[in-house]
Amino acid sequence: MRKLIATLSASAALVLLLASAALAGTTLTYANFPPAKTFPCVQMEHWKAEVENRTNGAVAVQTFPGGTLLGAKNMLRGVQTGQADIGCISLPYYPGVFPAMSAVNLPVAFSSTTVASLTMWDLYQKYQPEEFKDVIVLTMFTSAPSNIMSKTPVKQLGDLNGMELRASGSILKILGDMGAQGVGMPMSQTPEALQKGVVKGLVSSFDVLKDFNFAEICRYETITNLPVYPFAVIMNKASWNRLPGDAQKVLTDLGREQSEWTGNYLDNHIKDSLAWAKEKYKVEVFELTAAEHADIKAKGVPLVNAWRTEAAKADLDADAILSDMLALKTKYETETGK
């Protein structure tokens, strides 16, 4: 009898051990290029907590902010080859690679991050473009509409004359047309470029005034409402295929929610960041005239046409993508009031 009980309890222990090993099975690595404080990493930590919670710990996520696993430019390849299971990419860092989703980087004057992020997500869901065929897309979101942050004041567009400003993607072209000199590089290289004086400012969203402490060096801010930067969180296909079905479902269900969460977080955070910059560094904020905004808008038209040509070359229905994007933008502006 004793022997039987001992055998039974030993096998019960073995079953428990195997079950917990199966549950504890998966740890996913998640690489990100900018520092931990910045919004792409804040959304990453939120996503990690949601996934670990919703899978009851069956999936653990190990995060690597600040380029500690993969950097801005090797992120896409690094995820495709499995150096990281998951990675966060800023699409404008890969010119020509994302002909469909780069539409979100066009100068269409998005009114908020929430609107741009939800528009991007729905547009992706509708077209599921080829350009992401080698990875699994977990979520998409954008930065907030871009403004100028500079070391010397840009009170009017004429002040841009020859000024070197860091940007990426379509903003580079617009800056050139406005008489400035766009200098392309990832956000993660910008602190050094500003320090060394290689650039005299940057064009991005106001969260970076606080999160990179750019307010200290860029005391002048000009509201331009230039394009958002589109981001995608991508996963290695083999890593995805190794996940149990219920875990895959948790990740799939999180896609849109994460996009909206990030949009709301950033819309709030840019307000905090600008208020903080005014308080701590007494930064000055300049508004342009209606005529100057009309000028910026007019300079965006050839860009939209150039995108159309590129999209058509990639066998995409450019007009359909554009009109869907604008319809989604209007829909979400109405729905969110933002």
Site residues for ligand 3IO per CB under 6 A: 34, 38-40, 90, 143, 168, 186-187, 204-205, 207-208, 229
Pairing of strands 146-150, 220-226: antiparallel
Question: Considering the complex, what minimum distance in angstroms separates the CB of residue 242 from ligand 3IO?
Answer: 29
Buried-state track 251-267, b at ≥16 Cβ within 10 A, e below 16 = beebbbebbbbbbbbbb
Name the residue nearer to ligand 3IO (CB basis): 68 or 252.
Answer: 68
Q: Where are the beta strands (DSSP E) in 21-120?
A: 26-31, 59-64, 86-90
Question: Considering the complex, what minimum distance in angstroms separates the CB of residue 164 from ligand 3IO?
Answer: 16
Task: Pick the closest to residue 74 from 334, 162, 82 (CA basis).
Answer: 82
The residue behind tokens 């309890």 is 9
Name the residue nearer to ligand 3IO (CB basis): 204 or 222.
Answer: 204
Question: Considering the complex, what minimum distance in angstroms separates the CB of residue 228 from ligand 3IO?
Answer: 8
How many whole angstroms separate alpha carbon 43 and alpha carbon 318?
30
Name the residue nearer to ligand 3IO (CB basis): 44 or 135.
Answer: 44
Name the residue nearer to ligand 3IO (CB basis): 142 or 239.
Answer: 142
Question: Considering the complex, what minimum distance in angstroms separates the CB of residue 105 from ligand 3IO?
Answer: 10
Question: Considering the complex, what minimum distance in angstroms separates the CB of residue 104 from ligand 3IO?
Answer: 12
Task: Pick the closest to residue 79 from 18, 138, 25 (CA basis).
Answer: 138
Question: Considering the complex, what minimum distance in angstroms separates the CB of residue 328 from ligand 3IO?
Answer: 21
Name the residue nearer to ligand 3IO (CB basis): 39 or 250.
Answer: 39
Name the residue nearer to ligand 3IO (CB basis): 48 or 269.
Answer: 269
Task: Pick the closest to residue 104 from 143, 68, 133 (CA basis).
Answer: 143
122 CB-side CA count, 13 A = 19
Q: How far is CA 262 from CA 6, 180, 184, 277, 287, in A?
A: 54, 31, 25, 22, 27
